Structures are given as C-alpha cells and as structure tokens.
C-alpha cells in the first residue's frame, strides 16, 4: 500500500499541542501523556522515554509513540489505513516489545505492521474503568494499613512478582527477575503495600499520573487472601491518599471478573476497553 500520509517526529516546540490533543482522549491516553509529563521529548535513556510522531491536518489529528523499552502506543481516532501504513514506516527497523491502546487502533496497527498471530505471547483486551474520586466509596478499614515498601519487603515482593508472572504469563519489563522487579517497585514513590492485622496481603502502584488524574497499576493480592475484597480495598485506600494531594480522578484496567467486581464495589464504572499485546518478557502496561 502506498502511504499518502506523512508523519513527523515531535520536537520540543510541539509539547503543549501534543498534550492538548491527547487530553481530548484522556482516559485512553494516560501512557502517552504520562510518559510526556515524566520524561518530556527527546529522552533516549529511560525505558519509558518516548519518541512521538504526529499526523497533522490543521492541527494534530493522530499520534503514535515508541518508548525506549520498545512499547508502542497510539491515539488516532478514525485514522485511515494510510495513517497506519505511515506509522509502520516510521517504526521500520525498531524492535517491538508490545502495543497498547484502544483495541480497534491496536488491531489496525498490527495489520499495518504485518505481524503474525503469534507475534505476542500475551494478547489482552481488558475493561477500562474510570472513577471521579468524589464518588469513591468508603470501605471497612478495620485492621488494614497502607504503607510504603522497604528493603525488608524485597524477598516477599519478589515472590509476588513471580506469582504475577505465573498468573498473567508476563514477566517483569525488560526481562527483570522477580527480585529486580521488587527492588524497582520498592524505589517507586507511588508503590504501596496493604497490611491486614500486620500481615502484608497486597500491593499496588500508579503507572501514570497527569494533572489531577492517576492510573492505577500493578495491583496484586497474595493468593491466600484472594476473594476477600482486598484488591478493591487497597486501591480505595491508595486513592483516598491521592485525593488528599489534589487528585480528582482515577483510571484502571480490570484483569479479570473478580477484580472488576472489586473495583465496581468502590465506585469505578466501565467506560470502554483497552488492549495490550506483549512479549512474555514485557509487562509495562501493568507496572510502569
């Protein structure tokens, strides 16, 4: 197919217009916007530093992104086949660890890239949930305590990350071991552990933050404590903490029906779907 659409790489002068375009589709642009906020344009060293290409027609009408970790992201509503052809050309020669975005856009990109059905070991389309924090429902916090992880938690967290990999088929990003992932998690400002009567039972974090909106990610409940509403409890407790800092809304994906029910119990409402296709050694969509 001839590509009649031309994309250009975004430069520093495009930052404000790029974010303004993505903000129109805020719920499905959190990774693109979060990486822009955290790492700006031109970052070539952090694994979430992202190169952006723009499609313009009297302003930006489509964006594709490629992180230094090899993850593709997109926001291009109603884009034509020629747009995706141009996106594939922009990415020629780059290793692809995974794709994430609105399901229809991800499918269009996979077709343009001519990827085989087995190109990714994990192909998920999860329900996408949104919650204005004014509508966050309270829960019984008896015996529950949210805290930052510390060095003493690394061994336990390594086992949890290994369990996450077994549950999802996705190893920590970059091929990290469970121990390495636990050390990275422990250093993350947003990482939290939930204790029940003094026993650690679950973990959570934020994988994107833009303005007054956060995206929850990396929620994991220890197998011995599942089915007790602790996934919803840890998210609710973290979001209460975030609300005190001025955060107004939250986004998350539900990995399964049990998780979805837990999130719905604390006020989340489904607003659509979100796709993530990844190699078995990449899980940025869960832990950014």
Query: How many structural domains comprise the chain?
Result: 2
Classify residue 285: in a domain, yes or no.
no
Report the alpha-carbon distance of residue 197 to residue 228 in Å, rounded.
14
What is the span of the domain harbouring residue 100? 8-119
Number of Cα atoms under 13 Å in the Cβ half of residue 263: 26
Average pLDDT for 139-148: 89
Tokens of 166: 């077994």
- pLDDT value at position 278? 82
Q: Is the pLDDT of residue 72 over 80?
A: yes
- Confidence (pTM): 0.89
List C-alpha distances in Å: 82 to 3, 104, 254, 272, 281: 5, 15, 33, 26, 31
Q: Which residue has the higher pLDDT, 51 or 96?
A: 51
Same domain (yes/no): 211, 111: no
Angle at 28 between CA 163 and CA 241, to 5 degrees: 65
Same domain (yes/no): 187, 236: yes
Angle at 268 between CA 279 and CA 36, to 5 degrees: 50
Which is nearest to 124 in space by CA: 103, 110, 105?
A: 103
- pLDDT value at position 115? 84
**Torsional sign, CA 159, 200, 180, 35:** positive
Same domain (yes/no): 79, 190: no
Same domain (yes/no): 97, 188: no
Report the alpha-carbon distance of residue 122 to residue 280 in Å, rounded.
7
Q: Is the pLDDT of residue 285 over 60?
A: no
Classify residue 126: in a domain, yes or no.
no
Same domain (yes/no): 216, 150: yes
pLDDT digits (tens, 9 = 90+) for 6-61: 899 999 999 999 999 999 999 999 999 999 999 999 999 998 999 999 999 999 99
- Domain end call among 92, 119, 146: 119
Same domain (yes/no): 166, 146: yes
- pLDDT value at position 167? 74
User: Do the Cβ atoms of 204 and 192 come closer than 8 Å?
Assistant: yes
Weakest mean pLDDT among 42-56, 110-124, 244-258 = 110-124
Report the alpha-carbon distance of residue 275 to residue 71 in Å, rounded.
13
Task: Name the one residue in this structure whose structure tokens are 């990714």.
Answer: 120
Tokens of 201: 């039972």
Report the alpha-carbon distance of residue 237 to residue 73 in Å, rounded.
30
Classify residue 157: in a domain, yes or no.
yes
Same domain (yes/no): 16, 99: yes
- Domain end call among 67, 93, 119: 119
List C-alpha distances in Å: 237 to 71, 187, 219: 30, 20, 12
Angle at 90 between CA 88 and CA 92, to 5 degrees: 70
Classify residue 35: in a domain, yes or no.
yes
Classify residue 279: in a domain, yes or no.
no
Which is nearest to 66 in space by CA: 40, 15, 32?
A: 32
174 conformational bin, left if phi > 0, alpha if psi -120 to 50, beta if neither: left
Same domain (yes/no): 147, 235: yes
Classify residue 185: in a domain, yes or no.
yes
CATH number of the domain within which 241 lies: 3.40.630.30
219, containing H or E segment: strand 213-221
Task: Name the one residue in this structure whose structure tokens are 């990774």.
Answer: 31
Classify residue 124: in a domain, yes or no.
no
Same domain (yes/no): 139, 186: yes
For residue 123, the cross-strand partners are: 277
Cα distance between the two ends of the chain: 35
Distance of alpha carbon 186 from the chain centroid: 18
- Domain end call among 119, 146, 175: 119
Report the alpha-carbon distance of residue 121 to residue 105 in Å, rounded.
19
Classify residue 219: in a domain, yes or no.
yes
Report the alpha-carbon distance of residue 198 to residue 145 in Å, rounded.
8
- pLDDT value at position 119? 77
């Amino acid at each position: 197919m001839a590509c009649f659409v031309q994309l250009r790489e975004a430069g520093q002068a495009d930052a404000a217009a790029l974010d303004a375009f993505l903000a129109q589709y805020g719920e499905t642009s959190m990774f693109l916007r979060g990486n822009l906020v955290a790492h700006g344009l031109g970052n070539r060293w952090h694994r979430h530093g992202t190169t952006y290409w723009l499609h313009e027609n009297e302003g930006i009408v489509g964006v594709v992104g490629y992180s230094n970790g090899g993850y593709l992201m997109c926001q291009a509503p109603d884009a034509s086949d020629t747009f995706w052809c141009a996106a594939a050309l922009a990415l020629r020669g780059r290793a692809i660890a995974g794709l994430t975005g609105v399901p229809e856009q991800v499918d269009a990109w996979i077709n343009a890239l001519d990827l085989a059905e087995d190109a990714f070991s994990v192909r998920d389309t999860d329900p996408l949930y949104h919650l204005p924090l004014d509508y966050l429902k309270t829960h019984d916090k008896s015996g529950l305590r949210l805290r930052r992880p510390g060095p003493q938690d690394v061994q336990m967290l390594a086992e949890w990350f290994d369990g996450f990999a077994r549950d999802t088929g996705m190893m920590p990003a970059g091929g990290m071991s469970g121990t390495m992932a636990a050390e990275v998690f422990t250093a993350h400002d947003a990482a939290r552990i939930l204790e029940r009567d003094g026993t650690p039972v679950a973990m959570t974090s934020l994988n994107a933050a833009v303005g007054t909106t956060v995206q929850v990610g990396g929620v994991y409940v220890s197998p011995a404590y599942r089915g007790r509403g602790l996934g919803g409890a840890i998210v609710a407790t973290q979001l209460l903490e975030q609300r005190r800092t001025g955060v107004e809304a939250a986004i998350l994906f539900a990995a399964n029906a049990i998780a979805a029910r837990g999130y719905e119990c604390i006020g989340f409402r489904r607003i659509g779907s979100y796709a993530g296709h990844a190699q078995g050694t990449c899980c940025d969509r869960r832990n950014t």
